Amino acid sequence: MARIKYYYDTETCKYERVKTTSGDIILNTLGIFLLTLTMAVGLFILHGNYFESPKELILKNEVKEMEFYYDNLLQEVSKLDKQLADMEHRDDNIYRVVLGPSRLKNRFAKQGLVASTGTPISRKRHRSRRHYPETS
């Protein structure tokens, strides 16, 4: 049960009872509700900025893992490029001198293979594409 509140009226020099109307009660309730809602939204935004969800952590770990694999693939490709350059050098300078055929022009050597029909086979068509399974 609420305490009864009084105020001093200076004109009548009496204490008079404070009357609370239903509008005051609704206004106070609405103010408390809006204050609570504002605090909840603010805390939710702050939490979202400073803490990561488990799904974000999983995705960040996947990105790090993919970057690691990508770096390894780049290293392997650079090794294979060096080996290919070495093989091209041996082919141009050593084996052709020993075996006797003249050196092919650079545009023919880089063009690719020619099928029995006479049409060049592009190297891009023969590259295998690796499909990674999708993660959920």
Calculate the average pLDDT of the chain.
80
Query: What is the C-alpha to C-alpha distance for residues 63 and 55, in angstroms, rounded to an integer?
Result: 12
Residue 31 CA, distance from chain mean position? 40
Per-residue pLDDT, 79: 96
What pLDDT digit, counting tens, does each position of 13-42 carry? 999 998 888 999 999 999 999 999 999 999
The answer to whether the pTM exceeds 0.75 is no
Range list of H helices, 91-134: 96-99, 106-111, 123-126
What pLDDT digit, counting tens, does each position of 117-134 carry? 555 555 444 444 455 555
